[in-house]
Amino acid sequence: MDSPSAPGRKYRRRLPGEPVNPEWTAPQLPDGSFASPPPSGVKPLTGVLGEVWEEYRRHAARLLPLAAAGVVAAGLATALVQLMAGQFDRPVMLLLVVPATWLLSKLVMILLVVVTVGLVYQTRAQDEAWRPAPARLRECVGEVTAVWLIATLAVLAGLLLFVIPGLYLIAVWEVCVPVIVIERTGPLAALRRSRELIRGHGWHVLGLIVALTVLQNVVSLVLRAAFSWLPLAWQLTVANGIAVTAVIPAGALLATLIYYRLTAAEAAEAAARAAAGLTD
């Protein structure tokens, strides 16, 4: 249903009180059938890294070039900030460069998550006749930009001040972008919805994020060793650039799949409560 204020625009925010109907479809099995939501008693995020790897192999050809372009753009923008900040003392320069680098890296990740949600959806949709396609980037660019600024600045402040609040926000806001794209909410509603979905799974989500961070650092160290014949500055630039480019799509897939799994578990729990109510 098109917004009356924007003719032809397919993106529409979910109205307050409107039921959430996430466009989740379970992973396809080798025989062509689709798996059911996690059975009762099984943690919904169990085995998600294996699923991330399968989706990574499936979509790498499309995600890696986008990740590379984003990393190069972010690197050039960071270099420009460093050049402009070079006229200040080193402490002031760091105060300018570190937040700018963090903001730009998170922007690349968030934009890639938007694309990833669409790719994963396309491969899993079973009945597109009734299930609306996720909003494209240009249809939710305002909401995505707002959530990028709010979440990134809040997480950065939490990490700089007390660390633990920053880690907490990283975990509970992990799926805010899939919420915007699929459930068509505004930025603040997406942050609340993400926190609701992650509730009870925060440590697991944080552990998965840390695992990808460790993987990125290991890849970077291996690449630095492989390029040890280069000057140190080039070693860092090449190794970190390749490592980030390789791992960012995995992070985008992780956020997307966590959303799908938790909404599936939520739907299964609601169905079970409804069935229990009918039998009482």
Residue 260 clears pLDDT 60, i.e. is over it: yes
* pLDDT for 57: 93
For the chain, the residue count is 280
SS (H, E, C) 128-155: CCCCCCCCCHHHCHHHHHHHHHHHHHHH
Residue 31 clears pLDDT 50, i.e. is over it: no
Locate 229 and state its tokens: 């014949």
Residue 18 clears pLDDT 80, i.e. is over it: no
Residue 37 clears pLDDT 70, i.e. is over it: no
Per-range mean pLDDT, top range of 36-45, 120-129, 241-250: 241-250
Mean pLDDT along residues 205-225: 92
Residue with tokens 């660019």: 141
Residue 129 clears pLDDT 60, i.e. is over it: no
Tell me the per-residue pLDDT of 59-80, one tens digit each, with 9 for 90 and over: 999 999 999 999 998 888 888 8
Q: What integer best gives the mean pLDDT of the chain? A: 79
Contact 251, 109 (CB under 8 A): yes
pTM as predicted: 0.80
Q: How far apart are CA 147 and CA 221, in angstroms?
A: 32
